[in-house]
Amino acid sequence: MPAYDFLVVGAGFYGTVFAYHAASAGKKCLVIDKRKHIGGNAFCETRSSITVHKYGPHVFHTNDEKVWRFITRFADFNNFVNSPLARFGDEIYNMPFNMNTFNKLWGVVTPKEAKEKIERQTRPYRDNIPTNLEEKALSLVGPDIYEKFIKGYTEKQWGRPCRELPASLINRLPLRFNYNNNYFNDRYQGVPIGGYNGIFEKLLKNCELRLDTDYFLIKNPFSIADKVVYTGMLDEYFGCRFGVLEYRTIDFVTEEVDVDNFQGNAVVNYTDAETPYTRIVEHKHFEFGAQPTTVITKEYPLEWQVGREPLYPVGDEKNSALCRRYRELAEKESRVIFGGRLAEYRYYNMDQVVAGAIAAAEKELSL
């Protein structure tokens, strides 16, 4: 008889939230992760008393009151508001695109003037059915915004010309005709004081944890547990029998800088094509730090390869079709629950992952 009710593969948000609910219901859970730390991509480390988001900035935001009530049981969140900036050469603009952006770009002052300008710029492109990302963006925002804020950044992010990217990658580009610099529209937003690690430690309090453990080196998982909760790569679970699902990843280059304030903001996006990185993150600003030095991370996008962390699914037609074939196999695995970004091959925000794990646990445990 297996020693555990659930073998949870992955100590990120999906795995730990599911394990927490299972353990709270009296189930025995073994949580494993191939990395040497818990928390998945939300893992934080401390450098010079600054909390560093090791795998890029993680600002928790949601409109889901149930998720917010749940996550705030495990940490105190500050009132950080994500207001990134866009840098194009020596010019700095507010994001998302709002009246501050339009005023600096075109000199317009009123929402009416901004709307008229955008209408004139998009008019030549609106009657055509977009066949790629460039055509879609031009039909939504026109050439000025596209050339300065979208083209260079997107091509660096995806490693392909915008004309070769599917139009489906962008459903809309938010335009705000007010002076609100808050990137998110969600009701709840913040960063846990001291980072995310404490959340995961509390979620796993009543579970057994084994780090630096590769699921695929376990010969018979079902001799260990009645069921498996799998949050790893979907194609890898099935031995990539149909082919490999593609991802983009990021090379995070972090350094300590001997100034108290490097860029004056947590996130600055570099939207020109010449700068090799997409953004610089200055971590101390997430917690309003006043340390004498600072820590920054430059993000260099690149194609995913074995040994790197897969971050962004490439949601084009080829990969979507391949994913559907793997999902058909997953549906036949009666003793395996697939969940999270990698196992579902979908880009999720943190709150969506938490909500998915709660729903899966409630269904499985009849809560």
pLDDT digits (tens, 9 = 90+) for 32-51: 999 999 999 999 999 999 99
Each residue of 194-227: b (16+ CB within 10 Å) or e?
Answer: ebbbbbbeebbeebebeeebebeeeeebeebbeb
Q: Where are the alpha helices (DSSP H) in the chain?
A: 13-24, 65-71, 99-106, 111-122, 133-141, 143-145, 151-158, 197-203, 234-237, 317-330, 341-344, 350-365
Look up the pTM and report it.
0.95
Structural domain includes residue 44 = yes
The model's confidence at residue 146, banded by pLDDT at 50, 70 and 90, is very high
Q: Identify whether residues 71 and 101 lie together within a single domain.
A: no
For residue 206, name the pLDDT band (cuts at 50, 70, 90).
very high
Please classify residue 366 by burial: count the beta carbons closer than 10 Å to its beta carbon, then call 0-12 exposed, 13-18 middle and 19+ buried: exposed
For residues 192-213, give the mean pLDDT: 98
CATH of the domain at 329: 3.40.50.720
Q: Is the residue at 10 inside a domain?
A: yes
Q: Is 228 exposed, middle or buried (0-12, 13-18, 19+ CB in 10 A)?
A: buried
**The two three-digit tokens of residue 182, written as one number:** 């808050």
Tell me, yes or no, whether 213 lies in a domain. Answer: yes
pLDDT in tens, 253-273: 999 999 999 999 999 999 999
Q: Domain for residue 310, yes or no?
A: no
In the sheet with 336-338, reading across from the earlier edge strand, the strands are: 208-210, 29-32, 4-9, 225-230, 336-338
Tell me the pLDDT tens digit for each residue of 118-136: 999 999 998 889 999 999 9
326 and 235 inside one domain: yes
313 CB-contact burial (10 Å; exposed 0-12 / middle 13-18 / buried 19+): buried
pLDDT of residue 148: 97
Tokens describing residue 91? 């010019």
Distance of CA 213 to CAs 8, 33, 322, 357, Å? 12, 6, 28, 22
* 59 shares a domain with 117: no
* pLDDT tens-place string over residues 275-329: 999 999 999 999 999 999 999 999 999 999 988 999 999 988 899 999 999 999 9
How far is Cα 298 from Cα 253, in angstroms, rounded to an integer? 5
Res. 172: pLDDT tops 80:
no
Helix (H, G, I), strand (E, B) or coil at 252: strand
137, 146 contact by CB (below 8 A):
yes
> For position 210, what pLDDT does the model report?
98
245's tokens = 């699902």
Judge if 233 and 319 occupy the same domain.
yes
- pLDDT of 171 reads 78
Q: How high is the mean pLDDT of the chain?
A: 96
Which pLDDT score, from 0 to 100, does residue 127 have? Answer: 87
**Sorting pLDDT into bands at 50, 70 and 90, what band is 102?**
very high
Domain that holds residue 211: 4-81+187-242+315-365
Confidence class of residue 142 from pLDDT cuts 50, 70 and 90?
very high
Q: Same domain for 8 and 33?
A: yes
Q: Are residues 338 and 197 in the same domain?
A: yes
Asked whether residue 308 is assigned to any structural domain, the reply reads: no
Answer yes or no: do 219 and 341 share one domain. yes
Are 198 and 327 found together in one domain?
yes
264 part of a folded domain: no
User: Both 23 and 164 in a single domain?
Assistant: no
The reply to whether 238 falls in a domain is yes
103 lies in the same domain as 222: no
Least confident of 162-176, 180-194, 350-364: 162-176
Residue 367 reports pLDDT greater than 80: no
Same domain, 26 and 134: no
**Structural domains in the chain (count):** 2
Q: How far apart (Å, rounded) are the C-alpha atoms in residues 291 and 259?
A: 9
Residue 168 has pLDDT above 90, yes or no: no
Residues 235 and 101 in one domain: no
